[in-house]
Amino acid sequence: MQTVSIASPEMLDATISGYLAKGFVISDRKDEIATLQKHKKFNIASLLLLFIPILGWALLVIYVIIFAMKPSAEVLTIKVKAATQTFPTSHHPSSSGKNHV
């Protein structure tokens, strides 16, 4: 589970919008906290490439094992921090791929 901290409640909607654009969905929302999820997707193209008879059944089994080991959903919580803390603007989801605060 990943937690992203933001400076004010006003930034909550903008931050949520950035993650919705990345495929997350809102699973819970309150005034100063939101929980979003992004479910893993089964990649048929990768499966077909590994299924080619030249590569054999072993790679198919490895792919299924790797897929099964991944969590079923990526969970993200966005929480508003106390007003005394400030954060650089580089923590907005649209400026980088992942945010770890």
pLDDT in the model for residue 13: 92
Q: What is the pLDDT of residue 94?
A: 53
pLDDT score recorded for residue 35: 95
Whether 14 is covered by a domain: the verdict is yes
SS3 content of the chain, % helix, strand, coil (to 5): 35, 25, 40
What is the domain range of residue 30?
2-91
pLDDT band at 84 (very low <50, low <70, confident <90, very high): low
When divided into structural domains, the chain yields a total of 1
The one-character DSSP state at 34 is E
Q: Helices (H) and strands (E) in the chain — how many of each?
A: 3, 4
38 in a domain, yes or no?
yes
Burial of 93 (C-beta count, 10 Å sphere; 0-12/13-18/19+) = buried
Tell me if 36 is assigned to some domain. Answer: yes
Task: Determine the pLDDT at residue 21.
Answer: 95
pLDDT at 42: 79
Residue 100 in domain: no
Q: What is the pLDDT of residues 11-68, one digit of tens each?
A: 999 999 999 999 999 999 998 999 999 988 877 887 777 666 656 677 778 888 988 8
